[in-house]
Structure formats: structure tokens, C-alpha cells
Amino acid sequence: MKSFTPHVEVIRDAISHIRQYQPEGWTAFLGEPMVQDAILMRLQVIAENLANMRQIDEEKFLAMGDDSWTEIIGLRNVISHGYVTIKMKRI
């Protein structure tokens, strides 16, 4: 059986990058499209790896996570397919 470990490492790395990119306050975030793009890309990476974990072992995935993990997977679809409709204030 495949391990969650490589996926968890990628997720941790993406979270670390988001923290580095995150400007001080919402006004700064909303005023920096490159930062928005970078954070959305990292959120997409997180979601993709969570989806891979769910495919590996759905029972373990559900036991380890909570509803927010599934919501993040759904966010990946919004980012990928509805990018122009994203409301940054909701991110």
C-alpha cells in the first residue's frame, strides 16, 4: 500500500510557502495579484495531494482529516476551472 508520507511532505512545504508569501493584512493581499496567484497555486498543490491521499486510502483519509480537507479538494476544482470567478476575499 502506498504511503501518505510523500503527500504530507508536499503539503507541509506548500503551507510553508504560503506563510512566506502572505502579506500583512487583507488590503495588502488584495492589492498584490502575484501573491494571490502564488497562494492559489500552493492551495491547488495542497488540494491535489489531499485528493491523492483520499485515493490511496479513503478510510484512513477520513479518519485523519475533517470536513475542511474535502472542502480544500473542492477548492482545487474552483481554482482550476473557475479561476476568473474566484472572490479573493473568500480565500
The residue ranges of every structural domain in the chain are 5-83
pLDDT of residue 77: 84
Contacts of 51 (CB under 8 A, 6+ apart): 73, 76
Q: Is the pLDDT reported for residue 83 higher than 80?
A: no
For 50-69, how does the pLDDT look when each residue is reduced to its tens digit (9 = 90+)? 999 999 999 999 999 888 99
pLDDT of residue 15: 97
- Give the best-scoring range by mean pLDDT among 31-35, 73-77, 81-85: 31-35
Grid cell listed for 85: 470567478
pLDDT of residue 80: 82
For 13-51, how does the pLDDT look when each residue is reduced to its tens digit (9 = 90+)? 999 999 999 999 999 999 999 999 999 999 999 999 999
Closest to 27 measured CA to CA, from 70, 88, 68: 88
Name the CA radius of gyration of the chain, rounded: 14
